[in-house]
């Protein structure tokens, strides 16, 4: 485990016999995860802007303390904040890295509460990401958010997803409630909040003959997003054809959020594993 600097951002690099990975302290943001002898699992935009003022496009953005445009900035401030490296160590499965973020005068201007956040990455054949939110204030607060994971797939046109459940709010149609089947092949812009997902959403990455299993905990929704071509053309940090090789499957706390009394904690997690087919 080493820490290197890139464009004013510190990246924790993990090179281990079981896994290679990179975690940016800017955003508490995993940008790279590759178990030994596997293709990349996490997608990072080739046009990603590495700048302390911006969120990184790709990887696992930490959306907190709200999801989407529920507040300003969009998806909260955690993905634009500088986190601290709390610990790194090896265990029998690989490497564990933990980062922390606490409130500052600046965060309290955006969101007027005291908090302590810890994100723990357990890296090996699998990737487990646990985001623990603790209320260190003397009054209750509620939060929402997401582990907004971008997955690397061979071809969106030859990929399908299962396990999202049937009911969703369709962001492409202004958030209306819809019912669909529990198998999704993406052939246009998709931006959906599935609000009764199964515990595991599976990405069937057929050309690579693998399944990516996304097991979520502490969430109330699974968000599926692919911007498709027109939106990519409008984004400075995504190449025009980049929608072809990515899909977001997000462990999400949507809506009213989770309420924490002073001293209480809650953990949002995602466990990402591969299965050959």
List interacting residues with ligand TA6 (CB under 6 A).
55, 68, 74-75, 148, 171, 191, 223, 225, 248, 250
167 strand-pairing partners: 179
Pick the catalytic residue: 29, 75, 88, 148? 148
CB of 246 to ligand TA6, least distance (A): 11
Nearer to ligand TA6, 12 or 55 (CB): 55
Could you give the 3-state DSSP secondary structure of residue 261?
coil
Nearer to ligand TA6, 98 or 193 (CB): 193
Nearer to ligand TA6, 27 or 68 (CB): 68
Q: How far apart are CA 14 and CA 89, in angstroms?
A: 11
Q: Which residue is nearest to ligand TA6 (CB)?
A: 225
Nearer to ligand TA6, 1 or 111 (CB): 111
Residue 102 has, within 13 A of its CA and on its CB side, a CA count of: 6
C-alpha to C-alpha distances, 11 to 76, 145, 173, 179, nearest whole angstrom: 21, 23, 38, 42
CB of 68 to ligand TA6, least distance (A): 4
Pick the catalytic residue: 75, 215, 250, 254? 250
Q: Nearest-5° angle of CA 121, CA 126, CA 128?
A: 30
Q: How far apart are CA 232 and CA 234, in angstroms?
A: 5
Burial of 48 (0-12, 13-18, 19+ CB in 10 A): middle
CB of 233 to ligand TA6, least distance (A): 14
Q: Nearest-5° angle of CA 190, CA 74, CA 70?
A: 85
Q: How far apart are CA 13 and CA 20, in angstroms?
A: 8
The residue among 179, 203, 174, 204 whose CA lies nearest residue 191 is 174
Whether 148 sits among the annotated catalytic residues: the reply is yes
CB of 31 to ligand TA6, least distance (A): 14
CB of 260 to ligand TA6, least distance (A): 23
Residue 5 has, within 13 A of its CA and on its CB side, a CA count of: 2
CB of 225 to ligand TA6, least distance (A): 4
Nearer to ligand TA6, 58 or 124 (CB): 58
Q: How far apart are CA 268 and CA 250, in angstroms?
A: 11
Nearer to ligand TA6, 123 or 223 (CB): 223
Whether 266 sits among the annotated catalytic residues: the reply is no
φ, ψ for residue 30, nearest 5 deg: -75, 130
Active site residues: 148, 250
């Amino acid at each position: 485990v080493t820490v290197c600097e890139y464009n004013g951002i510190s990246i924790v690099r993990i090179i281990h016999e079981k896994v290679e990975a990179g975690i940016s302290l800017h955003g508490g943001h995993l940008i790279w995860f590759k178990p030994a002898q596997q293709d990349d699992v996490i997608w990072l935009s080739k046009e990603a802007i590495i700048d302390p003022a911006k969120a990184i496009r790709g990887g696992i953005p930490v959306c907190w303390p709200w999801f989407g445009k529920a507040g300003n900035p969009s998806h909260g401030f955690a993905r634009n904040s500088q986190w601290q490296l709390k610990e790194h160590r090896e265990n029998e499965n690989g490497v564990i890295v933990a980062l922390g973020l606490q409130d500052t005068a600046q965060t309290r201007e955006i969101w007027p509460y005291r908090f302590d956040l810890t994100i723990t990455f357990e890296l090996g054949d699998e990737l487990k990401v646990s985001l623990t939110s603790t209320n260190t204030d003397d009054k209750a607060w509620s939060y929402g958010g997401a582990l907004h994971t971008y997955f690397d797939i061979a071809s969106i046109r030859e990929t399908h997803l299962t396990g999202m459940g049937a009911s969703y709010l369709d962001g492409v149609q202004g958030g209306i409630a819809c019912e669909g089947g529990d198998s999704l092949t993406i052939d246009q812009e998709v931006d959906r909040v599935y609000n009764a997902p199964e515990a595991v959403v599976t990405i069937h990455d057929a050309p690579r003959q693998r399944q990516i299993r996304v097991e979520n905990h502490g969430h109330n929704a699974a968000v599926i997003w692919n911007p498709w071509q027109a939106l990519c053309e409008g984004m400075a940090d995504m190449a025009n054809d980049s929608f072809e090789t990515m899909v977001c499957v997000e462990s999400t706390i949507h809506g009213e959020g989770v309420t924490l009394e002073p001293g209480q904690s809650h953990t949002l997690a995602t466990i990402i594993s591969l299965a050959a087919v």
